[in-house]
Amino acid sequence: MKENDTGMDLFFEPGSVAVIGASNTVGKIGYKLMDNIVSGSYEGKLYPINPRDPEVFGMKAYKNITEIEGPVDMAVIAIPATFVLDEVEKCAKKGVKFLVMITSGFSEAGNIELERKVIKAARDGGMRVLGPNIFGLYSSRVSLNATFGPKGVKKGSVAIITQSGALGIAMIGMTATEGIGLSSIISVGNKGDLDEADLLDHLAEDVNTKAIMAYIEGITRGERMLESLRRVTRKKPVIVIKSGRSRRGAMAAASHTGSLAGSDEVFDAVMRQCGVLRAENLEEGFNWLKFIADAPLPSGKDTVIVTNGGGIGVMATDACEKYGIELLDEPELMRNIFSSSMPSFGSCKNPIDITGQASEVNYKDALLAGLESDRVHAMMALYCQTADFDKASYSEMITLIHNEYMRKHKPIAYSLVGGEEVSECIKELRSRGIPAFQGVYEMVSCFGALYRFRENLLREEQERVSIDTGSIQIGKIVDAALADGRDFLLSHEARAVLEAAGIPTPKSRIAHTIEEAMEAAEMIGYPVVMKIVSRDILHKSDAGGVALDLEDQEEVMDAYQLIIRNARNYDPHARIDGIEVSEMVHKGLETIIGARRDRSFGPILMFGLGGIYVEVMKDVSFRALPISRGEAISLLKEVRSYPLLLGVRGEESKDIEALIDSMMRVGSILSSVKRITDIEINPLFVYERGKGVKVVDIRIMVARDREV
């Protein structure tokens, strides 16, 4: 096996393809497939299979795939779903390696069992399956257009993976208009077997592919996909467009973490974590794809804007702030570089404003001055239409400048604002492969994507750690709760879990009598807090089951009686397991740490500020577990109110080290004890640096392994 072999070489480079359902009837998918394969000049052997016609497309047609003499690497299946299983079995007999299952009518139409049978038969027969319910695949390596999409796909270095077939076909059309060349386009459909991760693993190593775009509707094997994405984004840019920014599925959750962890929020955060560039829509995705596939990587972060209009210069500056682009800001240096190309009235402050009076020569000189300086790492060229704008000479000038920038491996893009003539000029430039845009934001967002890709390449991979959190002891606590028929831990059990994991919890004891309560309070030290412990009362405050700030024995006695009375009134049948007496924790900065098993991505961690107001403020972010220390830090920084942790208005900074330690420990508990489904610490008080953190309230949900 060769190095980096993902077992997918024959998928992208089949030496022979059979089309089951190849047809002479114009309008049938079996006809269109043959037409595309033949007119696309497929370099391997092609075998049409048809039970009626002895010839299809002028080629000998086989009634049965097993009649073919030579080997068949790939079979494309385009016959009705009811006949597919039989054909799959024949393919297995023939020793086919890959099936491309165009046919619809499987799980997407409710026929889950049929799909399962077909996939099983294929896998048992040693085959991998793309689809079903797809438009096929195009692979430039052997000029194979096994799709029923458009003909004449342009060869190039961009790979597209799409879950939507119809959109995929539209994307082939868009690549053609945008002049984007494809190394492959693959429709994954129902993902019965092969999915994005299988394809990404291969494309990461594919020398023909420089950039990848994926359109995703839903994730199946999320954890596996994240592993693939982490690997591939360190080599190539991966742009993802995901539809369905809905919060459905998160509503029934039992914790704050659950209700805040809407599918889109989690998806967005974990994609960022993996270095994926998530585009808002197809247009943005294609802009990025085209720009990144062609642009040289900047050697640093210092970007310069040259403009002949002050207004668009300001707009571009705003856009740079939005997309995190750093503008070179050294007045002396800028004067040295640009003053000679500047007309009077011009400004050498970034954005360099050569003003509306500037001639084309001034404009060209300014851009070339930026090219010559090693301190300028990337250039944004803005142009407002002027009275003497001449489309032809402007296009020539930009083409010349662009070639110079490409020759020197420095990225540049252009934004042109004006009327019809300017629009035509943009079209002309784009047809020459030059990144010219109408909108300033469109252009700047492309640089944003390029810089984020650069960061991925430079990112130091830290070890993602799972701390030993006493999982055996925790497992016993969880098992006892499950044996008791509960799907949650009582508060003293939850506290014991955190204690075992080394997370600071308040001193606490369970009392079953007034005497025990007074004894516990003496031992803990006043003031104390008392809370009802009952498997039937989850919302303790609502039941009047909480008493705070109890200063002495008398108050503890009164509180004990009151809490029991309130609980009885609230639910006369509630089983009371005791009263918890705890240290009254002094207030710190209120944060929330949550961890839960996400349906798509497995264990995830949430951090936020806001404590009881967290659902209103929604100032939270997520990471897929396990995480490295660096990822924990970036999770903290992503939250809007992060400056509160650094200390504002003269406050001392908070104990960020202790906070990170607790986050990593919570994450490790969830990663190592599979029967825990949710952990939420809310609030977790964070004190000043060196003074640590303290858990105030904990909620832990559990389930038997098979239910997780």
Q: According to CB under 6 A, which one of 72, 121, 134, 644 is a site residue for ligand COA?
A: 134
Report how far apart, in Å, the C-alpha atoms of 79 and of each of 23, 99, 100, 191, 271 are.
Answer: 10, 13, 12, 19, 37
Nearest residue (CB) to ligand COA, 76 versus 381: 76
Q: Which is nearer to ligand COA, 165 or 370 (CB)?
A: 165
Which of 8, 46, 75, 78 forms a contact with ligand COA (CB under 6 A)?
78
When asked if residue 277 is in the footprint of ligand COA (CB under 6 A), the reply is: no
Phi-psi region of 575 (alpha: psi -120 to 50; beta: other; left: phi over 0): beta
Among positions 15, 28, 38, 174, the unique one binding ligand COA when judged by CB under 6 A = 28
Q: Which stretch binds ligand COA (CB under 6 A): 72-80, 206-214, 456-464, 700-708?
A: 72-80
Shortest distance (Å) from residue 109 CB to ligand COA: 10
φ and ψ at 426, to 5 degrees?
-60, -45
- Positions 80 through 99 that interact with ligand COA (CB under 6 A): 80, 83, 87
Secondary structure of 176-244 in HEC code, one letter for each residue: HHHCCCEEEEEECCCCCCCCHHHHHHHHHHCCCCCEEEEEECCCCCHHHHHHHHHHHCCCCCEEEEECC
Q: Of 131-139, 191-199, 429-437, 443-451, which part binds ligand COA (CB under 6 A)?
A: 131-139
What distance in Å separates the CA atoms of residue 156 and residue 171, rounded to the nearest whole number?
15
173 touches ligand COA by CB under 6 A: no
DSSP-derived 3-state class of residue 694: strand
Q: Which is nearer to ligand COA, 83 or 613 (CB)?
A: 83
Q: Amino acid identity, residue 217?
A: E
Print the binding letters for residues 98-127 with ligand COA: x by CB under 6 A, - otherwise. Answer: ----xxxx----------------------
Length of the chain: 708
Distance of alpha carbon 2 from alpha carbon 481, whole angstroms: 51
Q: Is 40 in the site for ligand COA (CB under 6 A)?
A: no
* Stretch of 74-82, 200-208, 252-260, 401-409 contacting ligand COA, by CB under 6 A: 74-82
Q: Which of 51, 95, 173, 331 binds ligand COA (CB under 6 A)?
A: 51
Give the per-residue contact string, 649-688, with ligand COA (x = CB under 6 A; - = no): ----------------------------------------
Secondary structure E strands in 288-340: 303-307
Only one of the segments 16-24, 274-282, 454-462, 585-593 lies at the binding site for ligand COA (rule: CB under 6 A); that segment is: 16-24
- Residue 317 found at the interface with ligand COA (CB under 6 A): no
| DSSP assignment string, 554-570 | HHHHHHHHHHHHHHHHH
Residue type, position 58, single letter: G
Could you say which residues in the range 208-227 bind ligand COA, by CB under 6 A? none
Nearer to ligand COA, 34 or 269 (CB): 34
Residue of 9, 35, 53, 326 that binds ligand COA (CB under 6 A): 53
From 77-85, 467-475, 576-584, 649-657, span contacting ligand COA (CB under 6 A): 77-85
By CB under 6 A, what part of segment 143-172 binds ligand COA? Answer: 165-166
Our finding on whether 262 is near ligand COA (CB under 6 A) is no
Residues 6+ away with beta carbon under 8 Å from 558: none
Return contacts of 555-560, CB within 8 angstroms, 24+ apart: 556/514, 556/517, 556/518, 556/521, 556/528, 556/530, 556/581, 557/514, 557/517, 557/518, 559/530, 560/511, 560/514, 560/517, 560/530
Q: Which of 50, 145, 147, 469 binds ligand COA (CB under 6 A)?
A: 50
Which residue type does 708 have?
A: V
Q: Which residues lie below 8 Å from residue 683, measured CB to CB, with a gap of 6+?
A: 590, 591, 592, 611, 612, 696, 697
25 belongs to the binding site for ligand COA (CB under 6 A): yes
Q: CB of 83: closest distance to ligand COA in angstroms?
A: 5
Q: Order of strands, edge to edge, in the sheet holding 182-187?
A: 144-147, 136-139, 182-187, 155-162, 211-216, 238-242, 277-278
Q: In the complex, what is the shortest distance from the CB of residue 72 to ligand COA, in angstroms, rounded to a whole number?
A: 14
The residue sitting closest to ligand COA, measured at its beta carbon, is 165
Both structure tokens of 445: 């967002």
Residues linked to residue 684 through DSSP beta bridges, in sequence order: 591, 695
The 3-state secondary structure of 638-679 reads HCCCCHHHHCCCCCCCECHHHHHHHHHHHHHHHHHCCCEEEE
Is residue 52 within the footprint of ligand COA (CB under 6 A)? yes
Q: If DSSP states are collapsed to H, E and C, what string results for 244-258?
A: CCCCCCCCCCCCHHH
CA atoms of 113 and 192, how far apart (whole Å): 11
- Nearer Cβ to ligand COA (135/685): 135
From the list 129-137, 278-286, 300-308, 686-694, the region that binds ligand COA by CB under 6 A is: 129-137
User: Cβ 241 to ligand COA, closest distance in Å?
Assistant: 17
Report phi then psi at 241, rounded to 5.
-115, 120
Stretch of 76-84, 246-254, 265-273, 548-556 contacting ligand COA, by CB under 6 A: 76-84
Nearer to ligand COA, 31 or 394 (CB): 31
Closest separation in Å from C-beta 24 to ligand COA = 6
Size of the site for ligand COA (CB under 6 A): 27
Q: Of residues 8, 17, 49, 511, which one binds ligand COA by CB under 6 A?
A: 49
> CA–CA distance from 130 to each of 93, 182, 333, 703 (Å)?
19, 19, 56, 35
Q: Does 20 bind ligand COA (CB under 6 A)?
A: yes
From 561, 559, 560, 581, select the one nearest 495 (Cα to Cα).
581
21 lies in the binding site for ligand COA (CB under 6 A): yes
* Site of interaction with ligand COA (CB under 6 A): 20-21, 23-25, 28-30, 49-53, 78-80, 83, 87, 102-105, 133-135, 165-166
